[in-house]
Structure 1
């Protein structure tokens, strides 16, 4: 069983650090802009094999075609923003809208336009990851984000996290797997057995 996760968000929001923590890696204080990184994890859970492909995207949008492709190929989305950056939260909301519109347009094209005006189905599991919750100064409140996610339906949820402190990184992916009805054992603190782990950098 194959599932594709795309990690998206504004530059400097902590997307790469969050993915690195999930994969069991270290946190680096220095900032290096990401072009696009690809990671793969393979699990054996209750007799089933699951392949999880994670695409860590650029926040600078240097290649629009690559960005659109990540919208189309992603099945689950982690949308990362920084709780100390209002602009990054605005970008996160914009990303959600663009993902839905891109998938809907692709669906319309495939069906010859007969689905125009209808909602994109099946629902798209998304977690809004409010990173840098360890920062004292915030410009985005948890209540505001929670209200927004609640207004988007049951396939959109919010988790406060800190990649730097390794706080609730596991919860981000646990919630993503839960709303996508995937085995939550794939989250680091719930893993039973990992058959293989590979990391490919593009």
Structure 2
């Protein structure tokens, strides 16, 4: 049963389902070409992740160059799909994205896991617009359980959104993965995201995103 005020939350989520899928509309800017050096240097390496997260022996899977699609996987409500994955197709659909890279890493045993994504939006203005949309959509989903489909169904309970130093973040509890933090930031036209889950997650998602932004800004 949804808690008191759930009718208003449902209305916001339904409204944002339309807003998120059209998040790039009306934002002007010069199209940005895919960086010549690729995106792999922006995502943190296993050594960097161990340093930032305090993990031991974390191992990354091969990078992928596609967005995720939580709507197709059966995740509900539709307007909250962007809270539970990075590089979500429904978030970037109309953002003029020209490239994407996602890197998933896991610590051996029952340790931490982290999903990093870098998406090149159509312009710096588009990237900032995506951050503004994230603030609204993630906040609207607080108090509404997000039921994730796919191969490993789970339920997410989201906490209030925090915004500091240009990074949007949200902690949550997942029925399978424990405590998590999702964070999003931008460097020029590149939107960087991290979703970190584990037993003692506090601000690790923000730390990963801050390090990714530093990599993106490095000469």
Shared fold by TM > 0.5? no
- If asked which structure has higher relative contact order (CA below 8 Å, sep 6+), I would say 1
Q: TM-score, normalised by structure 1?
A: 0.31
**Would you tell me which structure has more helix in proportion to its own residues?**
1
Q: TM-score, normalised by structure 2?
A: 0.29
